[in-house]
């Protein structure tokens, strides 16, 4: 054997050893060595290695058998080498493996995720999804934002309603109150607004109660229903024992509120009938009886407009003048300054108090004797000290007398002398200022005692 041929055999042997590193001879050799010099640990490791090798052989032989069977059944690649590139099967191929069809895409390209669909397919417009990452808010046209107003808690309700009612007593605009209430989410406590407004008006003036009645009438059917109004007045009837502590006349006033509300169709006509024979509280019974009496007296009237009287500046000027004249006449008879002050405050016309000063001075000029002048001076002094009549109102009242004094003199010949005496008396008691006293017109020609008396004026 030549050296070249021996080298070829040596190379083939090494290649076989490389392809099959563990042969049967090695196993036999290893078995003989096991009975020889191996330790128990090495023996266990060797047995595990043999078991693993047997499993690999079994797995490899089973995969070859299954591949050959599948290829022979299909008839396309029978007998092909599975290890060759052409013999491998592409498991990700979209074509049918059964040999049927022309190998075209399924459903003509119209199915599946991320495809455009079949040719000629028309899609409908889809609403943009806000959760879409590509959603562009500016490209969606007009966007309407819904404002969510939280429901007002029962504890916060009083803090929010009181300023609204107090401001309403100043401006008297029911539309503004209606707008503010629509901005609040009162929820099931909506009826509480009526009871709070009535409670505040009970502690206020007659004009406040008139404004409250008008407010309830304007809110009825728009913000508050008849059932809400009924719940509010029912609650107030139950709270009358507490309301009397601050307002002793609360039962009578609440009865007037109920009568006015029924006349204005704020409360149902059967409101009073629901309480017949079911009221245990004496104060509630007084309120309901008061309402029943007013409705009986005014049953021919559509509205009880005068149940509170016409408030403040809403009264006609002639009516205010008549009220002030009556006030001054009662004072001249009784001499009660506090009662006159109380009556003047009830008129609620601080801008018209100059009329009271004017009428008081006219009564002094038309009276006989000094009693009226002293009493009127005390009355004006009391009004001045308490601040009920301001400096401007006092000056304006006297200036009106100064301007009309010539006309008054036609009916009262001694008007100038009486006026001078009264003005000096008011100045001495600090009712008017020195400037106002000096502006008092004179009687015209001064009568002197004699030509040689040095210019002394005759008293």
pLDDT tens, per residue, the chain with 459 residues: 444 444 444 444 444 444 444 455 455 445 555 455 778 888 888 888 888 888 888 877 766 665 555 544 444 444 445 555 544 555 555 555 666 666 666 666 666 666 677 777 777 777 777 787 777 766 666 666 667 777 777 778 888 889 999 999 888 888 999 898 888 888 888 888 999 999 999 988 888 888 899 899 999 888 888 899 999 999 999 999 999 988 888 999 999 999 989 988 899 888 988 888 788 889 999 999 988 888 887 544 445 666 676 555 566 788 888 889 999 999 999 999 999 998 888 787 888 899 999 999 999 999 888 888 899 999 999 998 888 899 999 999 999 999 999 899 888 888 889 999 999 999 999 899 999 999 888 755 444 455 555 545 544
User: Is the Cβ–Cβ distance between 215 and 253 less than 8 Å?
Assistant: no
Smallest CA-to-CA distance from 378 within 333, 412, 331 is with 331
**Is the CA virtual torsion 264, 267, 268, 272 positive or negative?**
negative
154-297: CATH topology: 1.25.40
CA distances from 372 to 87, 195, 325, 380 (A): 137, 48, 14, 12
User: Is the Cβ–Cβ distance between 447 and 437 less than 8 Å?
Assistant: no
Burial call 185-223: b when 16+ CB within 10 Å, e when fewer: ebeeebbbbbbbbbbbbbebbbbbbbbbbbbbbbbbeeb
CATH of domain 315-438: 1.25.40.180
CB-based contacts of 412, cutoff 8 Å, min separation 6: 365, 366, 418
Bridge partners, residue 220, by sequence: 224
Smallest CA-to-CA distance from 76 within 55, 60, 97, 95 is with 97
CB-based contacts of 235, cutoff 8 Å, min separation 6: 191, 195
- Give the 3-state secondary structure of residue 78: coil
pLDDT at 57 (0 to 100)? 83
pLDDT at 7 (0 to 100)? 44
pLDDT at 215 (0 to 100)? 92
Bridge partners, residue 151, by sequence: 185
Smallest CA-to-CA distance from 330 within 351, 354, 309, 360 is with 360
Distance CA 175, CA 168 (A): 10
Distance CA 379, CA 148 (A): 59
pLDDT at 6 (0 to 100)? 44
CA distances from 253 to 162, 198, 411, 448 (A): 20, 10, 46, 65
Distance CA 51, CA 53 (A): 5
Neighbours of 364 (CB within 10 A): 23
pLDDT at 355 (0 to 100)? 92
User: Is the Cβ–Cβ distance between 237 and 191 less than 8 Å?
Assistant: no
User: Is the Cβ–Cβ distance between 86 and 80 less than 8 Å?
Assistant: yes
The secondary structure of residue 164, as a DSSP letter, is: H
Q: Which two tokens stand for residue 140?
A: 């969606």
The whole-model pTM stands at 0.48
Could you check whether 154-297 and 315-438 share the same CATH topology? yes
Distance CA 446, CA 94 (A): 133
Q: Which two tokens stand for residue 330?
A: 């009662």
Phi-psi sector, 70: left (phi>0), alpha (psi -120 to 50), beta: alpha
Give the distance, in angstroms, between the CA of residue 456 and the centroid of all CA atoms in the same chain.
77
Domain limits of the chain? 3-59, 154-297, 315-438
CB-based contacts of 200, cutoff 8 Å, min separation 6: 162, 165, 166, 169, 208, 212
pLDDT at 11 (0 to 100)? 42
């Amino acid at each position: 054997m030549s050296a070249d041929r021996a080298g070829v055999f040596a190379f083939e042997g090494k290649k076989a050893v490389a392809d099959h590193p563990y042969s049967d001879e090695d196993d036999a050799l290893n078995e003989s060595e096991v009975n020889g010099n191996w330790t128990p640990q090495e023996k266990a490791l060797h047995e595990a290695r043999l078991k693993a090798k047997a499993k690999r052989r079994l797995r490899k032989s089973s995969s070859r058998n299954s591949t050959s069977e599948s290829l022979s059944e299909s008839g396309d690649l029978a007998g092909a080498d599975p290890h060759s590139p052409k013999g491998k099967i592409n498991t990700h191929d979209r074509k049918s493996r059964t040999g049927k069809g022309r190998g075209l895409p399924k459903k003509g390209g119209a199915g599946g995720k991320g495809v455009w669909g079949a040719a000629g397919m028309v899609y409908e417009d889809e609403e943009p999804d806000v959760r879409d990452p590509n959603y562009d808010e500016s490209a969606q046209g007009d966007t309407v934002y819904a404002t969510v107003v939280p429901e007002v808690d029962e504890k916060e309700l009083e803090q929010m309603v009181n300023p609204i009612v107090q401001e309403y007593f100043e401006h008297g605009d029911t539309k503004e109150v209606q707008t503010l209430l629509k901005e609040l989410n009162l929820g099931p406590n909506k009826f509480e607004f009526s009871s709070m407004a009535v409670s505040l008006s009970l502690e206020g003036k007659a004009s406040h109660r008139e404004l409250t009645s008008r407010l309830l009438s304007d809110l009825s059917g728009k913000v508050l229903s008849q059932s809400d109004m009924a719940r509010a007045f029912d609650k107030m009837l139950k709270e009358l024992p507490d309301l009397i502590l601050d307002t002793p006349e609360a039962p009578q006033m609440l009865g007037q509120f109920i009568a006015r509300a029924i006349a204005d169709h704020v409360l149902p006509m059967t409101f009073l009938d629901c309480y017949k024979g079911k009221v245990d509280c004496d104060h509630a019974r007084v309120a309901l009886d008061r309402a029943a009496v007013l409705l009986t007296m005014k049953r021919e009237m559509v509205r009880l407009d005068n149940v509170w009287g016409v408030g403040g500046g809403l009264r006609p000027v002639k009516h205010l003048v008549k009220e002030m004249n009556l006030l001054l006449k009662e004072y001249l008879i009784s001499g009660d300054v506090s009662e006159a002050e109380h009556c003047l405050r009830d008129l609620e016309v601080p801008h018209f108090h100059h009329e009271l000063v004017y009428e008081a001075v006219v009564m002094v000029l038309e009276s006989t004797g000094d009693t009226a002048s002293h009493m009127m001076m005390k009355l004006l002094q009391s009004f001045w000290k308490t601040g009920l009549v301001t400096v401007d109102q006092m000056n304006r009242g006297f200036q009106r007398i100064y301007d009309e004094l010539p006309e008054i003199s036609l009916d009262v010949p001694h008007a100038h002398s009486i006026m001078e005496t009264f003005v000096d008396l008011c100045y001495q008691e600090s009712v008017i200022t020195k400037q106002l006293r000096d502006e008092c017109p004179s009687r015209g020609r001064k009568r002197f005692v004699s030509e040689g008396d040095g210019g002394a004026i005759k008293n």
